[in-house]
């Protein structure tokens, strides 16, 4: 994995909070393993920090029947869209489901992940979602990384937006925003925000969220 959203947003918050980025700065760049990542700060009572998703590469397209079986679902639980692997530093297989109940019923165990990985060259995550009035209701399974389920996945939310634009699940108009509600089924509800810049994301897809400090420490060297 070359990129992760939480460390990027968290690091940006610390830089701003410690005054390591000039006061009032609304945009700066972090140099990461994936390359330069643009940060945009939406100021307000609770500032929201946005990252620009790294370039998104398309990958393998999967059969709906194979994905349904791996998730313990009927093929009718999936929208009539081909699941696809997309990669913006964290390869993720996106599977669109018909409704929130199907998302809650989905489960991917280790053997089923092995079946999905057949022929794959690198580890990847499995992201299932269904459309809602605010955006999507989603879950992400990452057994390849030792994580049965992730409550919030910023690195997959940008590619999620790209997948939705491609299949007409959301308008590709500049300024379109939506929320991905993730982690609810596992008792760790998270809200990830996505924003499309430029027509169909031509000027970038941004993923954002608020940061709440929960601990502070000092290291003496």
How far apart (Å, rounded) are the C-alpha atoms in residues 106 and 44? 38
User: What local confidence, expressed as pLDDT, does residue 211 receive?
Assistant: 87
Identify the pLDDT of residue 113.
Answer: 85
Helix, strand, coil in percent for the chain, rounding step 5: 25, 35, 45
pLDDT for position 25: 74
Structural domains of the chain, ranges and CATH numbers in brackets? 57-193 (3.10.310.10)
* pTM, to two decimals: 0.92
User: Which residues in the chain come in under a pLDDT of 50?
Assistant: none
Burial of 15 (0-12, 13-18, 19+ CB in 10 A): middle
Which pLDDT belongs to residue 85?
Answer: 97
The Cα 69–Cα 113 span in angstroms is: 11
Q: What pLDDT score was predicted for residue 209?
A: 92
Write down the pLDDT at residue 169: 94
Looking at residue 217, its pLDDT comes to 86
Return the pLDDT at 120. Answer: 74
Q: Which of 134, 126, 153, 165 is nearest to 207 (CA)?
A: 153
Pairing assessment for the beta strands 27-32 and 147-150 based on DSSP bridges: unpaired
Q: What's residue 189's pLDDT?
A: 95
């Amino acid at each position: 994995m070359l990129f992760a959203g939480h460390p990027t947003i968290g690091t940006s918050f610390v830089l701003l909070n410690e005054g390591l980025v000039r006061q009032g700065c609304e945009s700066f760049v972090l140099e990461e393993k994936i390359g330069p990542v643009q940060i945009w700060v939406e100021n307000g009572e609770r500032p929201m920090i946005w990252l620009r998703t790294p370039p998104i590469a398309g990958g393998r397209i999967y059969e709906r029947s194979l994905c349904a079986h791996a998730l313990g679902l009927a093929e009718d639980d999936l929208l009539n869209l081909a699941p696809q692997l997309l990669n913006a530093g964290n390869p993720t297989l996106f599977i669109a489901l018909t409704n929130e109940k199907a998302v809650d019923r989905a489960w991917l165990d280790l053997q089923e992940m092995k079946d999905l990985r057949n022929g794959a060259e690198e580890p990847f995550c499995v992201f299932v979602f269904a459309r809602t009035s605010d955006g999507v209701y989603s879950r992400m399974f990452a057994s390849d990384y030792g994580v049965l389920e992730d409550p919030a996945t910023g690195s997959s939310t940008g590619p999620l937006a790209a997948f939705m634009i491609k299949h007409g699940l959301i308008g590709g108009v500049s300024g379109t925003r939506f929320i991905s509600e993730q982690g609810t089924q596992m008792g760790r509800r998270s809200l990830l925000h996505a924003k499309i810049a430029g027509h169909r994301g031509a000027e970038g897809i941004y993923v954002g969220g608020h940061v709440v400090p929960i601990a502070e420490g000092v290291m003496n060297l």
